[in-house]
Structure 1
Amino acid sequence: MERSEDKHDPEKVLNVPTTDEEINDSPIEEVRLTVSITDNPNLPCLTFRTWVLGITCCAILAFINQFFGYRQNALYVSSVSAQILVLPMGKLMAAFLPNKSYRFPGTKQTFSLNPGPFNLKEHVLITIFANSGSNSVYAVNIITIVKAFYLRPIHPLAAMLLTQTTQMLGYGWAGVFRKFLVESPYMWWPSNLVQVSLFRALHENEIRSKGGLTRLQFFLIVLVSSFAYYIVPNYLFPSITALSFVCWIWKDSITAQQIGSGLKGLGIGAFALDWATVSGFLGSPLATPGFAIINILVGYVAVVYILIPIAYWTNMFQAKTFPLFSSHVFNDKGGTYDVSVVLNQTTFEFNQQGYDGYSRINLSILFAFAYGLSFATLSATISHVLLFHGRSIWQQTKSSLKDKSGDVHTRIMRKNYDAVPQWWFYTILVIVIGLAVLTCEGFGRQLQLPYWGVLMAVSLALLFTLPIGVITATTNQQPGLNVITELIIGYIYPGKPLANVAFKTYGYISMSQAIMFLSDFKLGHYMKIPPKSMFIVQLVGTVIASSVYFATAWWLLTSVKYICQQANLPVGSPWTCPGDDVFYNASIIWGVVGPRRMFGPLGNYYKMNYFFLIGFLAPVPVWILSRMFPRQKWIPLINMPIIFAGAGGMPPARSVNYNCWLAVGIFFNLVIYRKFKGWWARHNYVLSAGLDAGVAFMGILTYFTLQFKDIDGVQWWGLEVDDHCALAKCPTAPGIEVKNCPVFK
């Protein structure tokens, strides 16, 4: 985008240093090409419109994402939908609200419902509100498995404090590292440049071409079409959420159904006619770069169509005794693992005697390799970043430490706006750590985690926030701490499932939240938003979003009969909770039984530890080839962490989700992008937002008008949320007896 456009923008006033000693731009080329070096500090920010639209978007997105999170095809609606939708709403409010000024009683302060044209800074702050609502609250998974899977009570105040403290802890770490990760020009946060580009595009004057559509017109057409169509897969014909024709042809063949099932097998030939299937677990493919889609495709094919079939049909880890694809845990005889035998119901702790007389835990072959691949992804991320980005990160880190003045964006922010006092962050940190200890130690220690576990978890978050923040800010890759945190507490404090998941949440999510806050701060930095306004919006948005996520989950868990209990749900019920099912089984693996009896010498899957070494070494050949053939620009695009994580969404994602996601992603971000780049640039993200919004609105309308009243429509085979591949879940080892499955001799 040319710089010359800025001087014609009525919202911006040139405001850059002019001394010869200062460089009036960013040292990062991508930032120079994307981010404006202008600012108008007189634009109103925290206006009536900002509060109304921001809080509304935050609450709606939080409700929608939690509401759909329990369903068979979990829908995720990102803040991009709100980013696009609030623009015409803001302009309508600017056109029709009265512009009269009002005085606060007893003060000289005045405010106006309509302080002028809807501006870019209001739009950014509303989007920050929406970001808070669109980011899921990980702690809700704990509440869900307690109430819906372990069928135990949890004090509502303890549950509420858990959701708030796990989300708010990240503010403290963000404050500690803000100067380094936000103000430094070398910490440039590549993902923010997409939103910066979209903001600038939306606020440019758009003239409809002859015979064409504006972005808003296109969005409304897609929204209405998606809304109208979703009544079919959501209510009238749920079976089209997964169509597996191979199963229909070979109705009596277990092998054919294992190969063809899109929900319980390899999914060859499986597809869907439902946008929620496409984007439910993996996000919108329209927002994923083409090179990343190809890496994911390679990883998915290598794992699902090469590694898993070889491992299963050679009976590795006794794979034929269990289903090919399941997120559940099993006993040695192929039956569902009876957790009550190895879990003392009185103390809610591991029962060694019951375990010794019962069975080791067994996993489906895909679930076992999913953990192995997560080990490989973690170690591959470390070595990939060190090899491909280590030198630049080190140079940028040194430059950040030496550079006290910052780039032009930092100088503008320092000149025009007051910084957020550090004591604001530290105060929140101290209060939230105290509340976190109270949450775990109080209420009869329902969460099982002692105070030292909370302090250890927050120490891990503090330790990892800076290095992972540097990696994310410079490479757009964020290694997760979920597996490491489970592993650490699983060895130190085994046999306590809720202590394990609480430790993981306080350690992993508080770090992840800090990264999100820092990313949003950097977005505000680029868009020249007053830091105090950013802080207030993030703080209020986090509290509101956490409250809505908790309230929605609590309401559904206490009102939907048999929610998450798939065996007891009526036909056609979408409340299968696939993500929480995986979380529950992970709590058994890491918490009840513990990693020593799973991936250690006492378990069946100790060989999975080799994936740490495999992952660490995998990027080395790619790096060597890139050095040997520097002109081959495609070699550095081979990203081993992404390849290892290619099938990392399985479970809870299924093969039909991947098939559809990859097909749509390749079509739009490779074919359309190359052949019709102009159309793609104007409409791609708008198309994604319209599809998400239409599905969300119809799903909620259908639930409250029909499904909430138990009006499920005409009973027929298409009403089942299933792909009619009943035999795909059956074991094929001789002598294994499972209900509704043939027994092999």
Structure 2
Amino acid sequence: MTGYVDDGGHQSQPQPHSHIDVTGEDGEAAAEESPIEQVRLTVSTYDDPSLPALTFRTWFLGILSCVLLAFVNQFFGYRQNQLYVSSVSAQILVLPIGKLMAATLPKKAVTIPLTGWSFSLNPGPFNLKEHVLITIFANSGANGVYAVSIITIVKAFYRRSLHPVAAFLLSQTTQMLGYGWAGLFRRYLVDSPYMWWPANLVQVSLFRALHENEKRPKGGHTRLQFFFLIFISSFAYYTVPAYLFPSISTISLVCLIWKKSVTAQQIGSGFKGLGVGSFGLDWSTVAGFLGSPLATPGFAIINILVGFFLFVYVVNPIAYWSNWYEAKKFPIISSHTFDSTGQPFNISRILNEKTFHIDLNSYNSYSKLYLSVFFALSYGLSFATLMATISHVALFHGKTIWTMWSKTTAEKAKKATDIHSRLMQNYDAVPDWWFYSILIITFALSIFACEGFGKQLQLPWWGLLMACGIAFFFTLPIGIIQATTNMQPGLNVITELIIGYIYPGRPLANVAFKTYGYISMTQALMFLGDFKLGHYMKIPPKSMFLVQLVGTVIGSSVYFGTAWWLLSTVDHICDTDLLPDGSPWTCPGDDVFYNASIIWGVVGPLRMFTKQGVYPEMNWFFLIGLLAPVPVWILSRKYPNQKWLLLINMPIILGATGSMPPARAVNYITWGAVGIFFNFYVYKRYKGWWARHNYILSAALDAGVAFMGILLYFTLQSYDVFGPNWWGLEADDHCPLAKCPTAPGVVMEGCPVF
């Protein structure tokens, strides 16, 4: 699992250790079926090559889904309770719309003037291949554009100008660059039957379920009726936490009882403290930062909650009240940076206004950079998580990965295939020159974005080349890990460390290098994972390529346009000191990204995590993470009948709080409670209902919140109408003292001096 503190919790969802049946190469099953048991049980071996795929319905519904999801996710990305709407919502919604279009649109061919080309608005019944391609379109809109955070911190936090063309090129090239070399690895990571991409089997199952003929149960509802019932309820209810009573999003009972105690509020605040006795009555509190708990495997929920309780309720209180790293000078939980007196770190005192990089004389005469002990330990845990993921994969999945890779290379030598690869031979493959063209064009545009426009992004050409080299080098090994275990070790910490040591003192160079080095690899793997889904669903490869390419360009453009529009039109966006009461535009994720740019970029790891800084001990977490999975592995080998040992996942436990900050304790508490209820109690007692309705319930709740949030903004909040002026209007948990330091003599506005 990868979830690091500087990117707002980009976390994978690893699967439990499961037995993978790999039939021998010479076996009859391997000749006819997939060698992977899970694939044999899930993926259909039937294909109808005559079904139309890239139809008018595909383009219309696909582009519409892509635009809507990109707009919604970026729109909510700046708000107090972020909301992520996945492509599953579109996957469910477009099915009835597609069938309606098939029933109503004329079948007569439409000719494009001056070209002689023609197409049909209605080529027949709405089919599975159209549905898959529309979902791939939607997925392009649902996947965020990491580079937008760079644009946000420049404009909203550093308050500097950024050329819109440079910003646009940055958002496009970071998303597209990895597609260029993805084509080089597709013969290994897509064509090979041993690279099975377990996460795709969930999508395959959902597609098959949605396209089965469904009869309404007696006294019940169809899936679509259930979706709209929950959607309308969620849509209506969200007026309460979003407009009438924002305080209901986080209710901290301890603070309502002990209104003058700093310690009590530190313990009880779900927003700025440990969250004991805190909860929220808002779906965006539940799903806003950690994703929907309904769609998270039960074993992962337990591992995350174990990690959360250990870190937040054991390690952090010990560290804070023992005053590690002068912890009491700072808030108990904060993502901000501080100086040695406990005041917010004044970045303008050390940053040269003209060159926009560190002035070492000013830094040496001012103060070292301090963090809350929670934030410092979060970085240590991010180091541990990276190493634990590598160690865990090597110990628990190393043999499987090696077996599958050996079979993959042997298969390539023999040109052997399984049934799915043979069925895909009915379609033309994507020419290699398509991938090379993308690589050349996007790399040239990346150089132009970094070196042009007065070098506003600070990253020189050699830095871009190094970032691309790192991403390219890791794409295949990490792709093998993800394609066999569903785990993706992240490169964000490593890329920050490398550029932070080599090219310190430049915040934008650091975040740009991280984005090109980290995101281009994840985009390459997303491209390949979607290609494998198309492989399983027998989608023509050229159609898949076009949809992914067009979807990414459109999605990135909408993310960029939405961000630029909000940054230009919402007064004081991201500035919590100047925003009016009730305003949701607090940008919690970008606030963390901004502070990370100071830590890794301006000050740099040399002056943070060595003897020159305050936190050299954090480097021990690399060793802790490397060794952490070993005891679990030894116990699982010693007691093979104790299957529960295989569900202990140290990368998830160590990385559990990777979303904190910007996620808060209340988000984890409510997310965990809802997840346990549905994935354990409901799953065990009402398994039929769970199988039929669980994912649809999740998608409907997300969609209702999203549409009401947008409606409220355009009708009321864009006109600075934020609801009735009363106690419950504050988007806060009424724990003002939770942010206060407790060290003697430290002065902070609104806090008592001890």
Q: Tell me the TM-score range normalised by the shorter chain.
A: over 0.9
Could you say which residue in structure 1 is the equivalent of 2:189? Answer: 181
- With over 3 angstroms needed to count, the CA separation of the structure-2 counterparts of 1:43 and 1:694, relative to structure 1, is same
Q: Which amino acid aligns with 1:454?
A: L
1:244 aligns with 2:255: no
Instruction: Answer whether contact 2:582 2:723 (CA < 8 A) is retained.
Output: no
Instruction: Answer whether contact 2:496 2:510 (CA < 8 A) is retained.
Output: yes
Could you say which residue in structure 1 is the equivalent of 2:594? Answer: 584
- With over 3 angstroms needed to count, the CA separation of the structure-2 counterparts of 1:111 and 1:302, relative to structure 1, is same
Q: Which amino acid aligns with 2:378?
A: A
Alpha-carbon offset, residue 23 of structure 1: 2.0
Aligned equivalents of 2:245, 2:110: Cα separation in 1: 54
Counterparts of 1:484-523 in structure 2, within 5 Å, are 484-523=494-533
1:728 aligns with 2:735: no
Instruction: Answer whether contact 2:238 2:705 (CA < 8 A) is retained.
Output: yes
Counterparts of 1:340-419 in structure 2, within 5 Å, are 340-403=348-411, 404-414=415-425, 416-419=426-429
Question: The residue matched to 2:119 in structure 1 has which SS?
Answer: strand
Q: Compute the RMSD of aligned alpha carbons.
A: 1.0
Residue by residue, what CA displacement relative to the aligned partner does 1:366-421 show, whole Å, maximum 9, x if unpaired? 1111101100000000000000000110110010001122211111102x100000
Residue by residue, what CA displacement relative to the aligned partner does 1:116-135 show, whole Å, maximum 9, x if unpaired? 00000000000000000000
Structure 1: stretches of 5+ with no match in the other structure? 1-18
- With over 3 angstroms needed to count, the CA separation of the structure-2 counterparts of 1:568 and 1:21, relative to structure 1, is closer
Could you say which residue in structure 2 is the equivalent of 1:676? Answer: 686
2:206 pairs, out of 198, 204, 211, with 198
Alpha-carbon offset, residue 286 of structure 1: 0.5
Counterparts of 1:683-698 in structure 2, within 5 Å, are 683-698=693-708
Could you say which residue in structure 1 is the equivalent of 2:568? Answer: 558
Question: The residue matched to 1:350 in structure 2 has which SS?
Answer: coil
Could you say which residue in structure 1 is the equivalent of 2:9? Answer: none
Normalising by structure 1, we get a TM-score of: 0.96
Question: The residue matched to 1:349 in structure 2 has which SS?
Answer: coil
Counterparts of 1:76-475 in structure 2, within 5 Å, are 76-105=84-113, 109-403=117-411, 404-414=415-425, 416-475=426-485
Residue by residue, what CA displacement relative to the aligned partner does 1:553-581 show, whole Å, maximum 9, x if unpaired? 00000000000011111111100000000
Aligned equivalents of 1:107, 1:457: Cα separation in 2: 43
Alpha-carbon offset, residue 529 of structure 1: 0.2
Q: Which amino acid aligns with 1:609?
A: N
Normalising by structure 2, we get a TM-score of: 0.95
Aligned equivalents of 1:673, 1:25: Cα separation in 2: 31
Could you say which residue in structure 2 is the equivalent of 1:598? Answer: 608
Q: Which amino acid aligns with 1:492?
A: I
Counterparts of 1:561-572 in structure 2, within 5 Å, are 561-572=571-582
Alpha-carbon offset, residue 714 of structure 1: 1.7
- With over 3 angstroms needed to count, the CA separation of the structure-2 counterparts of 1:257 and 1:20, relative to structure 1, is closer
- With over 3 angstroms needed to count, the CA separation of the structure-2 counterparts of 1:236 and 1:443, relative to structure 1, is same
Q: Which amino acid aligns with 1:741?
A: C
Aligned equivalents of 1:399, 1:657: Cα separation in 2: 44
Aligned equivalents of 1:684, 1:23: Cα separation in 2: 37
Residue by residue, what CA displacement relative to the aligned partner does 1:463-489 show, whole Å, maximum 9, x if unpaired? 010111011111111111111000000
Instruction: Answer whether contact 1:75 1:279 (CA < 8 A) is retained.
Output: yes
Instruction: Answer whether contact 2:391 2:627 (CA < 8 A) is retained.
Output: yes
Question: The residue matched to 1:508 in structure 2 has which SS?
Answer: helix
Aligned equivalents of 2:114, 2:602: Cα separation in 1: 60
Q: Which amino acid aligns with 1:735?
A: G
Alpha-carbon offset, residue 110 of structure 1: 3.4
Instruction: Answer whether contact 2:471 2:520 (CA < 8 A) is retained.
Output: yes
Could you say which residue in structure 2 is the equivalent of 1:477? Answer: 487
Alpha-carbon offset, residue 102 of structure 1: 3.0
Aligned equivalents of 1:656, 1:460: Cα separation in 2: 37
Counterparts of 1:563-712 in structure 2, within 5 Å, are 563-712=573-722
Question: The residue matched to 1:102 in structure 2 has which SS?
Answer: strand
Instruction: Answer whether contact 1:285 1:664 (CA < 8 A) is retained.
Output: yes
Alpha-carbon offset, residue 680 of structure 1: 0.4
Aligned equivalents of 1:245, 1:22: Cα separation in 2: 60
Instruction: Answer whether contact 1:405 1:411 (CA < 8 A) is retained.
Output: no
Residue by residue, what CA displacement relative to the aligned partner does 1:688-719 show, whole Å, maximum 9, x if unpaired? 00000000000000000000011222211100
Aligned equivalents of 1:637, 1:109: Cα separation in 2: 56
Aligned equivalents of 1:98, 1:235: Cα separation in 2: 43
Q: Which amino acid aligns with 2:646?
A: P
Instruction: Answer whether contact 1:332 1:362 (CA < 8 A) is retained.
Output: yes
Instruction: Answer whether contact 2:290 2:659 (CA < 8 A) is retained.
Output: yes
Question: The residue matched to 2:659 in structure 1 has which SS?
Answer: coil
Aligned equivalents of 2:124, 2:596: Cα separation in 1: 53
Q: Which amino acid aligns with 2:692?
A: R
Aligned equivalents of 1:646, 1:674: Cα separation in 2: 25
Question: The residue matched to 1:111 in structure 2 has which SS?
Answer: strand
Alpha-carbon offset, residue 109 of structure 1: 4.6
Alpha-carbon offset, residue 735 of structure 1: 1.1
Identity of aligned residues (%): 71
Instruction: Answer whether contact 2:31 2:417 (CA < 8 A) is retained.
Output: no
Aligned equivalents of 1:214, 1:22: Cα separation in 2: 39
Q: Which amino acid aligns with 2:514?
A: K
Instruction: Answer whether contact 2:350 2:359 (CA < 8 A) is retained.
Output: yes
Residue by residue, what CA displacement relative to the aligned partner does 1:640-688 show, whole Å, maximum 9, x if unpaired? 0000011111001000000010000000011111111100000000000
Could you say which residue in structure 2 is the equivalent of 1:15? Answer: none
- With over 3 angstroms needed to count, the CA separation of the structure-2 counterparts of 1:616 and 1:474, relative to structure 1, is same
Question: The residue matched to 1:183 in structure 2 has which SS?
Answer: coil
Aligned equivalents of 2:516, 2:746: Cα separation in 1: 41
Q: Which amino acid aligns with 1:137?
A: V
Structure 2: stretches of 5+ with no match in the other structure? 1-26
Q: Say how many residue pairs are matched.
A: 725
Instruction: Answer whether contact 2:501 2:606 (CA < 8 A) is retained.
Output: yes
Aligned equivalents of 1:701, 1:95: Cα separation in 2: 30
Q: Which amino acid aligns with 1:637?
A: L
Instruction: Answer whether contact 1:497 1:592 (CA < 8 A) is retained.
Output: yes
Residue by residue, what CA displacement relative to the aligned partner does 1:484-520 show, whole Å, maximum 9, x if unpaired? 0000000000000000000000000000101110110
Aligned equivalents of 1:160, 1:493: Cα separation in 2: 24
Alpha-carbon offset, residue 103 of structure 1: 3.8
1:541 aligns with 2:551: yes
Instruction: Answer whether contact 1:173 1:511 (CA < 8 A) is retained.
Output: no
Aligned equivalents of 2:670, 2:289: Cα separation in 1: 12
Instruction: Answer whether contact 1:128 1:520 (CA < 8 A) is retained.
Output: yes
Instruction: Answer whether contact 1:72 1:574 (CA < 8 A) is retained.
Output: yes
Alpha-carbon offset, residue 78 of structure 1: 0.2
- With over 3 angstroms needed to count, the CA separation of the structure-2 counterparts of 1:106 and 1:723, relative to structure 1, is closer
Counterparts of 1:13-52 in structure 2, within 5 Å, are 23-52=31-60
Aligned equivalents of 1:297, 1:104: Cα separation in 2: 57
Alpha-carbon offset, residue 20 of structure 1: 7.0
